[in-house]
Structure 1
Amino acid sequence: MTSSIVYKGELRTEATHLYSQSVVETDAPLDNQGMAQRFSPTDLVATALGSCMMTIMGIKARDMQIDLTGTKIEILKHMKSEPRRIGAVDVKFILPAGLQLDDKQRTILQNAALTCPVAKSLDPAIEQNVVFNW
């Protein structure tokens, strides 16, 4: 098993990663009867996309002996209704100032990010709008 989830009441869950025992709590969003005091499940999906992209990009960068430490990603999730679902995720990479890469290196790293497992697992109806700010 990967994780165990317990319903804590009040539209909240607690998910435990079984290998590491790290815990993530969720809350329903304000627009769906929650208090929005924690990530919502759909927030986690959108965040997982950015985190996965950065991880795969980081693996490729390490192989190329490029240090991406300090790279920031901003995520914006867009919800749709009827049925309620994620319609789009905006992923904005902000790479460290002074990072000197040529066009080939940038293309390799961008392609690594865009082919991460989460990106390839999401329904094609979910728009993935990705911007790299070099």
Structure 2
Amino acid sequence: MAENKTKPTTVAVSDFLETVKDEAQRADSFVLVQLMKEVTGHDPVMWGPTIIGFGTYHYKYESGREGDSILTGFSPRSKSLSIYIMAGFERYPEIMANLGKYKTAKSCLYVKRLADIDMASLKQLITASYEHMNTKYNS
């Protein structure tokens, strides 16, 4: 069975963030680090070369595949910040309605700039998802 390619590393999060070329995205990334640290109580950890994770959970699928992943986190990508809302978005319609300008995929929230979204709603979304995942997998 294939092993997960994305694993925790020893790279310092601040060192990685200093390599982000776009100054606004770099500044937004430092804001997200503080927000996620406040919400989760976890220090940030690099997962692979570009993902900053907060907290972990162990999953096991019916197929037998299992591994570890982040409870929440983000990655500064070239076009947007990818914020990982691991619980998905379906259970949070009220929060999503107030969030602002964004796009989503299965568990990724894509935000061009933090100035485009309501930060109180983002904090509420991250908190709700983190608590859901932590209760589901770590209780």
- Higher strand fraction (1 or 2): 1
| TM-score for the superposition, normalised by structure 1 | 0.28
| TM-score for the superposition, normalised by structure 2 | 0.27
Computing the radius of gyration from Cα coordinates, the structure with the larger value is: 1
